[in-house]
Chain A
Amino acid sequence: MNTLINIEDVHKSFGSNYVLRGANLKIIKGESVVILGGSGSGKSVLLKHIIGLLMPDKGTVTVAGSDLSKLDENDLNELRKKFGMLFQAAALFDSMSVWENVGFGLKRHTKFSDKEIKEIAVEKLRHVGLTGIEDRMPSDLSGGMRKRVGLARAIAMEPEILLYDEPTTGLDPIMADAINDLIIEMREKLKITSVAITHDIKSAYKIADRIAMLYNGEIIETGSPDNIRNTLNPIVKQFVEGSAVGPIVIEGLKR
């Protein structure tokens, strides 16, 4: 098996907040992994480690054979060109038009002219189901459209790995499902390895080849959607069934 991303015993704390406590996860080239976890379980933190936005206090994150914490700034940036990332609220640059957002990476890292970049941007936007909005500003778009533009930006440089930070959060169920379909399409058409974090079980079942459950800073179980659905682990079971009663300690709630 061809391991593309290897997260090994990653620990991370912020001040007195011990978020990751020895997380382990291997991601194979071409697969679609969903990391499930509750709010505040550290899944965003884990995702940010994969692209080197955060570095582990202890442990290693290896992508395509290179240990991220050992790379200098230039090599890290080279490696990041293999990634595309869709942020939770899309994180579009609000000072730029839609096509400039989509073409940002191309503008900076290729020699294409503005005209060519705009053509590519329009093409990528069509890919995510958007037409005729390339000259609008991000502030004029709805939440669902912004996410699509964010996805177009993430795929503009033809990445090998796509990271999704809560792709369906904050969208209505129909738009959320449309985004799920897009994620599946990205994987099937573009053969991209994808890692998504979410607490949306429905979305996870739909887009994942493999689901990993993050609890208390550790990956406590991984398996196919079917395995997870029929899990015997009480914590995972409680989470996928969405019950407030069970072994999971809910922060700030006394029983």
Chain B
Amino acid sequence: MFIIKAIEFIGTVFKDPIEETGRILLLFYSTIKWLFRPPFELKNTTKQMVEIGINSLPVVLITAVFTGMVLALQSYTGFKRFGAESLVGSVVALSMTRELGPVLTALIVTGRAGAAMAAELGTMRVTEQIEALETLATNPVKYLVVPRFISGTIMLPCLAVIADIIGIIGGYFVTVIVFGTSPNLYMKMTWDHLEMNDIYHGLIKAGVFGAILSLISCYKGFYTKGGAEGVGKATTGAVVISSMAILISDYFLSAWLFK
């Protein structure tokens, strides 16, 4: 009896996540299928690119500059203990391009644009606007999900590259202006240890994160149930699941890309 109870328990714990993963993959499949079928939703895609890219810029800039600054501050004061202050430039550059630029940008965009996607699509679902699209002979995945997926995947690397640069400038500010290190040394250390691959691989990660966050947020919105409360749950779920998926996939992507 105990074994049956245990199996039952395991089943109830894993049933929902497995079902959900399956449905996310199905949505991914139909997104890819509609991605290449004309006519292309240029107007919607442009609108989403502005929403995800341009409108996220202020928060991404502020996050990046302070991340670069705190990285410089912590590594400068820490490295001073063993006389390695000169490495600060390298630490900031490598951390920003390989890790913090893409990941923090993705988390910030999840909180902003991902939540907005889930809330908008969720409201459209509960007010029957998604069904209305279908009755007007318009595929809702093509009309709503594909533009957001494309915009997320393209805009995230763009934002990440800006975050990389701004983070390095923030680090420069703290190291050179606050701690009085020579500007030449900071720039030399930045360039000497930074490889193009660090930047490229960081941007590949950003692109994958963009795809993940837009897909999960659209999924959560698309399958919203139960009125205003459902929209709230979908929005929270979109942010939580996207953030976790970004951090988990970050490890595996890094392990693969930065071997």
Contact = CB atoms under 8 A, between A and B. Distances in A.
A59 interface: no
B147 to A, nearest CB: 13
Interface in B97-150: 123-124, 127-129, 131-132, 134-139
A219 B123 CA distance: 33
A93 B132 CA distance: 9
Of the listed residues B127, B129, B134, B136, the one surrounded by the most CB atoms of chain A closer than 10 A to its CB is: B136
B137 A91 contact: no
A227 interface: no
Interface stretch (A16-24, A78-86, A123-131, A235-243): A78-86
Nearest to B138: A108
Contacts of A157: 136
Nearest to B39: A108
Contact of A104 (B124, B136, B139): B136
Of the listed residues A78, A93, A163, the one surrounded by the most CB atoms of chain B closer than 10 A to its CB is: A93
Contact of B135 (A51, A78, A108, A109): A51
A91 B132 contact: yes
Contacts of B139: 73, 77
Nearest to B129: A91
Contacts of B137: 77-78, 80-81, 105, 108-109
A53 B129 contact: no
Contacts of B124: 93
A104 B143 CA distance: 12
A87 B136 contact: no
B138 A87 contact: no
Interface residues of A, number: 25
A93 B129 contact: yes
A80 B132 CA distance: 11
A88 interface: yes
A89 interface: yes
A45 to B, nearest CB: 12
A109 B135 CA distance: 13
A72 to B, nearest CB: 12
Interface in A91-127: 91-94, 104-105, 108-109
B257 to A, nearest CB: 37
B64 to A, nearest CB: 31
A53 B131 contact: yes
Contacts of B123: 94
A22 to B, nearest CB: 24
Given A73-B139, A77-B139, A87 B134 contact: no
Nearest to A78: B137
B55 to A, nearest CB: 15
A48 interface: yes
A175 B134 CA distance: 28
Given A89-B127, A91-B127, A108 B136 contact: yes
A83 B136 CA distance: 8
Of the listed residues B123, B129, B137, the one surrounded by the most CB atoms of chain A closer than 10 A to its CB is: B137
A85 B138 contact: no
Contacts of A104: 136, 138
A80 B131 contact: no
Interface of A: 48, 51, 53, 73, 77-78, 80-81, 83-85, 87-89, 91-94, 104-105, 108-109, 153, 157, 163
Given A53-B135, A91-B128, A153-B136, 12 more contacts: A77-B137, A77-B138, A80-B136, A84-B135, A85-B135, A89-B127, A89-B128, A91-B127, A91-B129, A92-B129, A93-B124, A105-B137
Which A-B residue pairs are the 7 nearest by beta carbons? A91-B128, A91-B132, A77-B137, A85-B135, A80-B137, A105-B136, A87-B128
